[in-house]
Structure 1
């Protein structure tokens, strides 16, 4: 209940700040709430297809990143001295590459827009997921590992009964941060490397100096992110309901 009141207070303060700023500054620099709302309604009335395109790209890119990241992270945890030692520095290098570099390379290498956007999101998001899964496997309680070893299981049995369940927990826990980050990267990629989608619409608004439209598209992204977090929370509560939550008084 307190979280809802805090959220409501933050929203009221933000709206109040926007309205006050629009009264102090010219409308072409800081639009008022009425202009932003009119642009928001226009988006919902005439530009829903761009929202659908962005969400479709996001769903495909995130799904592929989750699948590949989970598989590679699981393999890294199961075979630390071979696969783990190879992919750890490889992912460190991939994460050091700026997002803009991935965007520019994709523009030069790939002609299909959807493949281009998928390439960018995949190679930025997948290492984050793989490392999260790998670290989750490394954090398995040593006492549990020793207890399992008492039964002399095969590598396949260890993988099925210990590593896969542990990796799935950390996979679900990493979805929240990775999905929000992937959405931001995808919109940024659309702004530079696509002719459709939310990012491209924001680029057009910026070119035409339509700040009210930029604010409206930002509002759309905020709503999408809230819905995404809500769905992830519900999924975590359902699949990880056996995990306790520590409360510090």
Structure 2
């Protein structure tokens, strides 16, 4: 659900040139349709966000194609204010939250976080804002470290079990079948091609199935004048050549 703002881009540009007050926007998000936005909306309304300038999403933070967030970000201009109930409304990861927050501040947009673990108001508290962004940077680096450790652990686990890492490579099925036809055992064929025995047997079974599924041979026939079965239906009948002889 997204409520369109009443302020046009031309209106905003005119306001900036005339020194008119900036626009105040609010953004709220929950991860599922079953969750309730009431608490966030009430807090944003109490801060002064009007209904026409309030944008909401009911989608997960890991999916960054969110219409409500995209709409409000497209409307923000230097001097405008974006209010959030908590900073994690911008995304599920510290990296994504920090990326969006830094871009907004760099574009001259003020960011006000009303609650959560890192509340701050970039209009009045430069130190608190910098501390919040520094904390996000630290958490983002920790996330990257954990991701690298998980990948390294998964790789080591697969290599210990004799499995390869990364995308499976293409198997030369014809070469595998040729080695089997030449009498090479399944174990040696698997080792030669860097695949598992199960893959060798699967390729062999699929080849047999394909061979067995070949089109059946249709016998040649000719039309023969006959009285038909029991002499009751005279006419031409298709009779296999072997039977006709």
User: TM class by shorter-chain length?
Assistant: under 0.3
TM-score (structure 1 length as normaliser): 0.20
More strand per residue: 2
TM-score (structure 2 length as normaliser): 0.21
Which protein is bigger by CA-based radius of gyration? 2
More helix per residue: 1
